[in-house]
Structure 1
Amino acid sequence: MEPSLDILSKEDVKKCINAEVLMEKLEFALADYSKGEDGGTQQPLRLTIPVDHYKGRQFVMSAFSQRENALATKVVGFYPENKDEPTHPSDIMLYNPLNGSLQAIMDGTVITEYRTGLVSAIASKHLANPTSKILAILGSGVQCTGHFNALSLLYNFDDVRIWNINIQSAEIAAKKLGKPCRVCTTAEEAVKDADIICTVTSTSTPVLNKDWVKPGCHINSVGAVKPKWQELESDLMRSSVVYVDSKEAACQETGDIIISKCEIYAEIGEVINGQKEARWHETTVFKSVGKLSHKKYIFIKYLNKLIYLYSQL
């Protein structure tokens, strides 16, 4: 008898995800990755396929986790001009690592939304001031909501500000948060005196300048997904203590690192492992390119099965 194949829709995945459990798995994954061979993971750089004719890109990301005995591949698109479809359509395939047979196919959009915000929350837990009260989010897409929900698991913010180049989009995003927040007309206004700043944009030019950021602020940057794109001004990158999910990927994939020629102090996994210091009393930047973020444990409960995934952005 052939083994059954589980197929999980977007709604199935929503029912299965537990954010607290997922955050724990992601922290394990970050730590394991930064242990190198001792971490028991295999995670090559993602394959990038330009689809320039339709102004899109596709990424193929595979990983094996010895800890979870899980083998998975994620295929995700980047179509920033999508209106009626997700800008990051994705699917995840889970394989039996013993024989390579396909066990499950699941929608990856919800997992990506959760995972990206939760990784930023993990970085903030280690790098931000533990008394942080002011949150600023630049960008108003799904990651605006994802980052707010993830960070709210750790912090009780007194003031939340949102900015987007399209103010109507920012107003729509603010209503989704379910908590009063201020929509700002400029990025500078949004980040003034902020304790934590999240840049979740699709911009190709910097939206955050050094002079706007107060000393000791922590910044989570998840945009600038191409070598010639930037979210953060080069002076800001060079003057901050920079952490990444994957040094290998960050040095090849994001303009925030490549163009600024900043020094990378550590991978966030090295901080979790106690190998590097969490210098939260200084201005810190966590640059997430999705490489290590892709290699995250995704904990899914489906019917009577527990499926452990090691996935990617």
Structure 2
Amino acid sequence: MRRFEEVRVWSRTPEQARRFAEQHRARAMDAESAVRGADVIVTATNAREPILQGAWLKRGALVNAVGSPRPTWRELDDEAMANVVVVDSREAVLKESGDVILSGARIHAEAGEIFAGTRPAPIAQTTVFKSVGLAIEDIATARLVYEATLARAGAQG
């Protein structure tokens, strides 16, 4: 588990970025300044053209790209997608992810293969995790929310 010392945020909607940054006390004026030097980057946009450039990535960074879920949309440029690529589902990203389809990215592994130990984890390498969303992820999230709600209700008791 990584320990975070700093979080930077950028949004194509400046007001949303401002509100989020005020709440979390971090600001970035543009995507590049949010990304440069960061250990972990999360993209969750509806971008149709790349908003993150591989040239901005620090060696060893982890990019969690969960947005732009259409075959013709992209959040990341070809240089970013030339790094180690891990996906939630090969089948799904090859149908739904413009980041993977349009860049011709080589998929290193599915996350499940790494967790099962059948594929090596990309240690100390710049890595892109591309997720288009799977029902099992939604179910796991719903369970965590449900359990947290029950725990909170029990604590209030």
Structure 2 length as normaliser, TM-score? 0.85
More helix by share: 2
> In structure 2, what is the Cα distance between the partners aligned to 1:296 and 1:232?
27
> In structure 1, what is the Cα distance between the partners aligned to 2:112 and 2:6?
29
* SS of corresponding position for 2:41: strand
Q: List aligned pairs for 1:86-165, cutoff 5 A.
A: 154-165=1-12
Hey, what does 1:270 align to over in structure 2?
113
> In structure 1, what is the Cα distance between the partners aligned to 2:92 and 2:7?
31
Query: Which sections of structure 1, spanning at least 5 residues, go unmatched?
Result: 1-153, 304-313
Matched, 1:209 2:53: yes
Sort the Cα spacing of 1:215 and 1:161 in 2 relative to 1 into closer, same or farther, 3 A.
Answer: same
Paired residues of 1:232 and 1:256 also in contact (CA < 8 A): yes
Which segment is superposed worse, 166-175 or 258-267?
166-175
Aligned residues: 146
Q: Deviations over 1:208-261 (max 9, x none)?
A: 0011111111100001110000000012102x1000001110100010011001
> In structure 2, what is the Cα distance between the partners aligned to 1:187 and 1:223?
15
Matched, 1:286 2:134: no
Paired residues of 1:251 and 1:258 also in contact (CA < 8 A): yes
Q: CA RMSD in A?
A: 1.8
Matched, 1:193 2:40: no
Hey, what does 1:7 align to over in structure 2?
none
Structure 1 length as normaliser, TM-score? 0.44
> In structure 2, what is the Cα distance between the partners aligned to 1:205 and 1:215?
23
> In structure 2, what is the Cα distance between the partners aligned to 1:260 and 1:296?
30
Sort the Cα spacing of 1:262 and 1:293 in 2 relative to 1 into closer, same or farther, 3 A.
Answer: farther
Hey, what does 1:221 align to over in structure 2?
65
2:76 to 232, 241, 245: 232
> In structure 2, what is the Cα distance between the partners aligned to 1:235 and 1:215?
13
Query: Which sections of structure 2, spanning at least 5 residues, go unmatched?
Result: 151-157
* SS of corresponding position for 2:108: strand
More strand by share: 1
Aligned residue identity for 2:90: K
Hey, what does 1:171 align to over in structure 2?
18
The alpha carbon displacement at 1:291 in A equals: 2.5
